[in-house]
Amino acid sequence: MALLEVRDLHVGIEGCEILRGLDLAVNAGEVHAIMGPNGSGKSTLSHVISGKPGYQVSAGQILFNGEDLLAMEASERATRGVFLAFQYPVEIPGATTMNFLRAALNAQRKARAQTEFSTPDFIKRVREVANSLNIPQGMLKRGLNVGFSGGEKKRNEILQMALLEPSLCILDEIDSGLDIDALRIVAGGINALRSSERAMIVISHYRRLLDYIVPDVIHVMSKGQIRKSGGKELALELEACGYAQFEDAA
Amino acid sequence: MKQVVTKTAAGRATDNVFAAAHGRLPGSGLVAHIRARAFEAYERAGLPQRIEAWKYTDLRALMGAVLPLAPRPDAAALVRAAASVKQTAVDRAVKLVLVDGVFVPELSDVDSLEDGVAVRSLREVLEDTTDSAMAGLVLSTTTDAVISLNAAMATDGFVITIADGEAVKRPIQIVHVTTGSLVSNFTRSYLQLGQGAHAALVESFVSAEGASGYQTNDATIALVGDEANLSHIRLAADAADAVHISSSIIAVGAKAKLDFFSMTCSGSVSRYQGFVTLTGEGSKLSANAVNLIRHKQHVDTTMVVDHAVPHCTSREKFRAVIDECGRSVLQGRIVVRPGAQKTDATLTTRALLLSDEARADNKPELEILADDVTCGHGSTSGALDGALVFYLRARGLSEKDAQALLIGAFLGEAIEEIVPESLRDFVTAQTEHWMQARR
pLDDT (0 to 100) of residue B420: 86
Q: Cα dihedral sign for A207, A209, A214, A220?
A: negative
Angle subtended at Cα B219 by Cα B217 and Cα B222, rounded to the nearest 5 degrees = 165
Are residues B274 and B403 in contact, defined by beta-carbon separation less than 8 angstroms?
no
Query: Is A160 within 8 Å of B392 when comparing Cβ atoms?
Result: no
pLDDT (0 to 100) of residue A177: 86
Percent of chain B with pLDDT over 90: 88
- What are the C-alpha distances in Å from B433 to residues A138, A209, B265, B355, B427? 29, 46, 10, 19, 10
pLDDT (0 to 100) of residue A99: 93
Are residues B111 and B104 in contact, defined by beta-carbon separation less than 8 angstroms?
no
- CB contacts of B396 in chain A (<8 Å) are 75, 78-79, 104, 107-108, 111, 164
Q: Establish if B398 touches chain A: CB-CB under 8 angstroms.
A: yes
Q: State chain A's mean pLDDT as an integer.
A: 93
Is 70 exceeded by the pLDDT of residue A75?
Answer: yes
- CB contacts of A89 in chain B (<8 Å) are 391
Which of A2-6, A90-94, B4-8 is the least confident region?
B4-8
Tell me the average pLDDT across B5-22.
64
> Which residue out of A50, A55, A69, A75 would a mutagenesis test of the B interface target, given it has the greatest number of B Cβ atoms within 10 Å?
A75
Q: What distance lies between CA B401 and its chain's CA centroid?
A: 30
Query: Comparing B1 with A76, which gets the higher pLDDT?
Result: A76
Are residues B261 and B232 in contact, defined by beta-carbon separation less than 8 angstroms?
yes
Digit-coded pLDDT (tens) for B152-171: 999 999 999 999 999 999 99
- CB contacts of A86 in chain B (<8 Å) are 391, 394
Q: Establish if A89 touches chain B: CB-CB under 8 angstroms.
A: yes
Strands A4-13 and A16-26: antiparallel
Digit-coded pLDDT (tens) for A168-178: 999 999 998 89
Percent of chain A with pLDDT over 90: 79
Tell me the average pLDDT across B412-430.
92
pLDDT (0 to 100) of residue B8: 52
Query: Is A53 within 8 Å of B387 when comparing Cβ atoms?
Result: no
Are residues B319 and B290 in contact, defined by beta-carbon separation less than 8 angstroms?
yes
* pTM exceeding the 0.80 threshold for the entire prediction: yes
Q: How far is B350 from chain A (nearest CA, A)?
A: 14
pLDDT (0 to 100) of residue B100: 98
Which of B123-137, B256-270, B322-336, B413-427 is the least confident region?
B123-137
pLDDT (0 to 100) of residue B12: 46
Q: How far is A235 from chain B (nearest CA, A)?
A: 30
Q: Establish if B432 touches chain A: CB-CB under 8 angstroms.
A: no
Q: Establish if B406 touches chain A: CB-CB under 8 angstroms.
A: yes
Q: How far is A240 from chain B (nearest CA, A)?
A: 37
pLDDT (0 to 100) of residue B80: 97
Strands B117-121 and B158-162: antiparallel
Q: How far is A127 from chain B (nearest CA, A)?
A: 19
Query: Is A73 within 8 Å of B392 when comparing Cβ atoms?
Result: no
Query: Is B390 within 8 Å of A52 when comparing Cβ atoms?
Result: yes
Q: How far is B396 from chain A (nearest CA, A)?
A: 4
Which of A222-236, B89-103, B129-143, B246-260 is the least confident region?
B129-143
Sheet (strand A225-230) strand order: A82-85, A168-172, A199-204, A31-35, A217-222, A225-230
Q: Establish if A66 touches chain B: CB-CB under 8 angstroms.
A: no
Are residues B419 and B426 in contact, defined by beta-carbon separation less than 8 angstroms?
no
Q: Establish if A95 touches chain B: CB-CB under 8 angstroms.
A: yes
Q: Where are the domains of chain B?
A: 16-279, 384-438
Helix (H) or strand (E) holding B85: helix B75-88
Residue B95 pLDDT level (bands cut at 50, 70, 90) = very high
Please tell me which of the candidates A53, A94, A104 has its beta carbon nearest to residue B396. Answer: A104
Sheet (strand B198-207) strand order: B102-103, B94-99, B172-178, B198-207, B229-237, B257-264, B284-293, B313-322, B344-353, B374-382
Name which of B209, B171, B266, B170 is nearest B86 in CA terms: B209
Please tell me which of the candidates A53, A94, A104 has its beta carbon nearest to residue B397. Answer: A104
Which of B81-85, B104-108, B380-384, B413-417 is the least confident region?
B413-417
Neighbouring residues of B52: CB distance < 8 A, sequence distance ≥ 6: none
Q: Establish if B410 touches chain A: CB-CB under 8 angstroms.
A: yes
Q: Establish if A74 touches chain B: CB-CB under 8 angstroms.
A: yes
Tell me the average pLDDT across B36-52.
93
Q: How far is A62 from chain B (nearest CA, A)?
A: 17
Q: State chain B's mean pLDDT as an integer.
A: 93
pLDDT (0 to 100) of residue B267: 96
Tell me the average pLDDT across B92-102.
97
Is 60 exceeded by the pLDDT of residue A195?
Answer: yes
Digit-coded pLDDT (tens) for B204-248: 999 999 999 999 999 999 999 999 999 999 999 999 999 999 999
Residue B1 pLDDT level (bands cut at 50, 70, 90) = very low
Digit-coded pLDDT (tens) for B100-155: 999 999 999 999 999 999 999 999 999 987 766 777 787 777 789 999 999 999 99
pLDDT (0 to 100) of residue B432: 92
Is 80 exceeded by the pLDDT of residue B10?
Answer: no
Q: Establish if B133 touches chain A: CB-CB under 8 angstroms.
A: no
Percent of chain B with pLDDT over 70: 96
> Which residue out of B317, B350, B385, B397 would a mutagenesis test of the A interface target, given it has the greatest number of A Cβ atoms within 10 Å?
B397
Is 50 exceeded by the pLDDT of residue B360?
Answer: yes
- What are the C-alpha distances in Å from B123 to residues B31, B112, B154? 11, 21, 9
Burial of A147 (0-12, 13-18, 19+ CB in 10 A): exposed
Q: How far is A104 from chain B (nearest CA, A)?
A: 6
pLDDT (0 to 100) of residue A77: 98
- CB contacts of B386 in chain A (<8 Å) are 53
Neighbouring residues of B120: CB distance < 8 A, sequence distance ≥ 6: B158, B159
Burial of A56 (0-12, 13-18, 19+ CB in 10 A): middle
Q: Establish if B387 touches chain A: CB-CB under 8 angstroms.
A: yes
Tell me the average pLDDT across A150-160.
94
pLDDT (0 to 100) of residue A1: 85
ipTM here: 0.96
Residue B3 pLDDT level (bands cut at 50, 70, 90) = very low
Tell me the average pLDDT across A65-74.
97
Q: How far is A10 from chain B (nearest CA, A)?
A: 22
pLDDT (0 to 100) of residue B153: 96
How many other CB atoms are there within 10 angstroms of residue B399's CB atom? 13
pLDDT (0 to 100) of residue B130: 73
Query: Is B397 within 8 Å of A107 when comparing Cβ atoms?
Result: yes
Please tell me which of the candidates A94, A108, A160 has its beta carbon nearest to residue B410. Answer: A94
Residue A248 pLDDT level (bands cut at 50, 70, 90) = low
pLDDT (0 to 100) of residue B9: 52
> Which residue out of B348, B388, B389, B392 would a mutagenesis test of the A interface target, given it has the greatest number of A Cβ atoms within 10 Å?
B392
Query: Is A94 within 8 Å of B412 when comparing Cβ atoms?
Result: yes
Which of A161-170, A179-188, A236-245 is the least confident region?
A236-245
Tell me the average pLDDT across A155-181.
94
Specify whether the backbone of B310 is left (phi greater than 0), alpha (psi in -120 to 50) or beta.
Answer: beta
Please tell me which of the candidates A90, A93, A111 has its beta carbon nearest to residue B391. Answer: A90
Is 90 exceeded by the pLDDT of residue A47?
Answer: yes
Q: Establish if B395 touches chain A: CB-CB under 8 angstroms.
A: yes
Neighbouring residues of B44: CB distance < 8 A, sequence distance ≥ 6: none
